[in-house]
Structure formats: structure tokens, C-alpha cells
Structure 1
Amino acid sequence: MAGRLPTLMTNDLPTASTQETSATASPARGSAMLNNIFKQVRVPEFRFRWQFWAEKGQASAPASSKTPSTVAGAEEYASRPKPLGDQIISVKDFYQHFNNIPVDNLKLRDSIHLFHQGVKPLWEDTRNTRGGAWYFKVNKELAGDFWHEICLLAVGDVLQSAVETKRDSFNDDICGVSFSVRWNAVQIAIWTRDADNEAGKEKLLQTVLEKLSEKLVPKKDSYYYRVHKDHKAFAAPGQ
């Protein structure tokens, strides 16, 4: 029949011998080969080392608040964030952790943080006391994608480049980013080290608005910057 394509017949083909089967690349051998390649090829490292943290919120108060009137209360608050896994120094490390931290399963007031190694996700940490954060109110349906992109902007040095200063006395940094479940939305925060760096704060916001996927760009009334020490529950070091 005109235009009919030839058909490849595979009936009655001889089976592969044991020797031929052993020489065939199987999925297992493929994985072993890739693992061997990864061992030999050096994965590019991030400029900064990172650490994931988990924080279980309290039902009676926001995860970011505390009652510092007693030493016991302050110690309990400071001990709430718990490190997750090892330090993160490459994209491979990042996804090994990120893919095993499903933020969709977090309960009300729970938080996940991704911070520079050595910086604890507390306002009173010595690297955070002079800083603040941009807070974004994100629809829960979009929060997972928003969080993913913000994390990549953080570890990829895009956010850092926006706030970085070259002063002798005090330089600004991105300290970390946070994902916190609230009643009707998710609060995603980008923590900066220097709340007085006005130019850096504005450049950081513009960077976020420009780099996020179009569907994730937040509306103008859904974000704000707040200095850590302006929170009622903030307790200066030594208090």
C-alpha cells in the first residue's frame, strides 16, 4: 500500500547470552558510573556555607516571639531552632537537604530557616542584632515555589550582591531566609545584617521583584521591612 511505513519484525529473535547480558549497561551500572563521576569531578562550592534549621512554634504565641521575663523562658526560646543536617557548600548539598524538607507538611507557626553557617535564626544572635528583614505574605498555594526561588537566590549570591557594602567598620550581609506558616498565608523573610543600609534594602527588594518568576511577584501591599529591635519581644544581648 502506498505510503505505508515498513514494520520492524522482532519475532523469534535469539535471547542474549549470559556474557552479552553482563556486558550490557544496566540502570544499576549507570548509577554506579554517575556516582563515580561525581567523586572524581569537583562540584563548584558556594561562596558561603549554609545550614537549614527547623523551629516548632508554640500554640500560644508566634514562632518569632517570646516572653523574656525569666531566664528559663529566654533559654527555651533560644533553643527552639534546631539545625537540620550538615553544612551546605554546593548545589548538590542544597538539594539533598531541600528535597527532604517538605514545607507543605509544616503546621501552624512552624518555621524552616536557611542561614549562613554559624548564624542562628534568632534576632538576638550577634550577627542579627543590628539587622532586620523583608517580610513577604505569600499565598499558601504559591509558597513552596516562592520559597524554592528565594533559597536559590540566597545560595546563589544574588541577594548578597544586592546588599553588599565595602565599609571598614560594618558590612551588610544576607544572614538567612525563613519560611513560617501563619493562619491564612505563609510568611517568607529575608534577613539582613544592617538595617541602616537603606540603599541595600531597596536594591534587595528590587532584586527580589525582578528575579522571581512572574506568577510569584508579590503585590505591593504584601511586603514590608522591619528592624529586629522594633519587635516587642526583642531582647538586647545581656538583658
Structure 2
Amino acid sequence: MNLLERDEDDQGLSESLHDDGTNNNHNRHKTVSPAAGEHPLQYNYTFWFSRRTPSRPASSQSYEQNIRQIGTVASVEQFWKFYSHLVRPGDLSGHSDFHLFKEGIKPMWEDDCNRSGGKWIIRLRKGLASRFWENIILAMVGEQFMVGEEVCGAVVSIRFQEDILSIWNKTSNDQTTTSRIRDTLRRVLNLPANTIMEYKTHNDSLRDNSSFRNTKISL
């Protein structure tokens, strides 16, 4: 799938991206910086994409092989230049995920920055993913959550019957931080008061995933 359509003359992203939207090996670790006159973000952010077959539960190794970087941004201008050329989540098909994480943090439970953390989960009816994804990542890069370095990234997961939005933070047992993130989510997404939100630690996710992989089904 072509996730990124951009002009070949777009030099602002050309150093970190191939024309097909993937990072090349030579520039994978090259630091992205704001250009002269641009408005820097407080943190650099990296877009990732993953897709898998639903009937095949992913191990951490196969998941890491399947996920790929599609670009890193360091300024407001770079963000909009990149984001405006990305496919919208609502236009994705199958079992697909977009991730936006601080540069240097992989969107994996096992990453050192995520290991002790968790995520707020919001389940969406079909048709809402694109708007809600835009709102949540704008709030994140705009530092609206006001929890210091706690926020790691956000994920939108496209599924067949519903879509799932989540935001990850570093410290699952910090109730003050997790509550503030929840309240900010309600505000920036304009969620009704009765919206169900679930908080899940990454340790629980790892345990559930391991149990699922080890389950034997008898026919």
C-alpha cells in the first residue's frame, strides 16, 4: 500500500524518506531538525505503520519485523507537510495501524520507555477514526496533556467492525497522570460523559497476548 503520496520536489522530507514512504538504511538514524524559520515541536515524532493477518497472532519478534517507520518530523511545518500527504485512517482496510510516537520510542510494549506503562483505549464505531486520530495527535504534539514526558505516543487501529484509539504513557501506576490524560482525552475529543474508556497496562497486554498464543484449540 502506498501510504505517502508527495511531490518529488518536496525536499523537507526527502532526506529521511524514500519516494515509497519508507526510511532508507543510510538515513535511519539521522537526526531530523527544524528548517530555518520553522516552529520546532517540543519533541520529534515518528510515524509508523503496521498491518497483519488477524488469524495470525503476532509474537513480539514478528510484530517488530512487520512494523515500519514512514517518517519523522521536528517542526509544525514538517508535521503538516507530512500529515497532509498521508492516507487517512478511515481509508485504510483490513487489520491496519497508524502509530505516532516520540522519536526513539518504538510502538511496542517491550520498549524500555513503555515497559512500565499502559494505555487509555477508546473503541470507535466505523467512520470516526480519521477525525478522532487527527484530534488526538494534534493534542499530543501540541503538548495539551500537560504531563511532562509521560506521553509516549498514540495509535489508531483499524478493524473490521470497529476502530480503536489509544494513547500510551510511561508510568501505569501514576494515577494522577493517567487521570489527567483521561480527562484531556475527553476534552480534546469532545467525548460524551457516558463514553467507556479502558486503561490497560502493557504488562497485562503482554500477558494476554502470551496466553492467547499458547492456547490450543481442539476441533
Instruction: State the TM-score bracket (shorter-chain normalisation).
Output: 0.7 to 0.9
Question: CA offsets per residue over residues 57-98 of structure 1, 9 Å max, x none?
Answer: 22314xxx534xxxxxx422222210002x211121111221
Matched, 1:233 2:209: yes
Contact 1:173–1:194 (8 Å) recurs in 2: yes
Decide whether aligned partners of structure 1 residues 152 and 181 sit closer, same or farther in structure 2, where only a CA change above 3 A counts: same
Residue identity in the other structure for 1:45: P
Q: Note the 1:108-123 alignment, pairs <5 A.
A: 108-123=94-109
Decide whether aligned partners of structure 1 residues 40 and 211 sit closer, same or farther in structure 2, where only a CA change above 3 A counts: closer
**Aligned-pair CA distance for 1:142:** 1.8
Q: Which residue of 2 aligns with 1:141?
A: 127
Greater shift, 203-212 or 47-56, is seen at: 203-212
Q: Note the 1:1-239 alignment, pairs <5 A.
A: 42-61=37-56, 66-67=58-59, 74-85=60-71, 87-102=72-87, 103-159=89-145, 161=146, 163-164=147-148, 173-212=150-189, 214=190, 217-218=191-192, 220-231=194-205, 232-233=208-209
Contact 1:57–1:111 (8 Å) recurs in 2: no
Decide whether aligned partners of structure 1 residues 234 and 88 sit closer, same or farther in structure 2, where only a CA change above 3 A counts: farther
Contact 1:136–1:218 (8 Å) recurs in 2: no
SS at match of 1:208: helix
Residue identity in the other structure for 2:84: N
Decide whether aligned partners of structure 1 residues 196 and 97 sit closer, same or farther in structure 2, where only a CA change above 3 A counts: same
Distance 1:201 1:126 in 2: 19
Contact 1:131–1:195 (8 Å) recurs in 2: yes
Aligned length: 175
Decide whether aligned partners of structure 1 residues 218 and 81 sit closer, same or farther in structure 2, where only a CA change above 3 A counts: farther
Residue identity in the other structure for 1:54: F
Contact 2:49–2:98 (8 Å) recurs in 1: yes
Relative to the length of structure 1, the TM-score reads 0.67
Question: CA offsets per residue over residues 137-195 of structure 1, 9 Å max, x none?
Answer: 11222221111010100100112x1x33xxxxxxx511100010122211011000110
SS at match of 2:115: coil
User: Which ranges in structure 1 are unaligned for 5 or more consecutive residues?
Assistant: 1-38, 68-73, 165-171
Instruction: Kindly indicate which of the two structures has a greater share of residues assigned to helix.
Output: 1
Distance 1:158 1:124 in 2: 26
Contact 1:133–1:228 (8 Å) recurs in 2: yes
Decide whether aligned partners of structure 1 residues 49 and 234 sit closer, same or farther in structure 2, where only a CA change above 3 A counts: farther
List, as ranges, runs of 4+ consecutive aligned residues in structure 1 with deviation greater than 6 Å: none
Distance 2:48 2:128 in 1: 21
Q: Which residue of 2 aligns with 1:29?
A: none
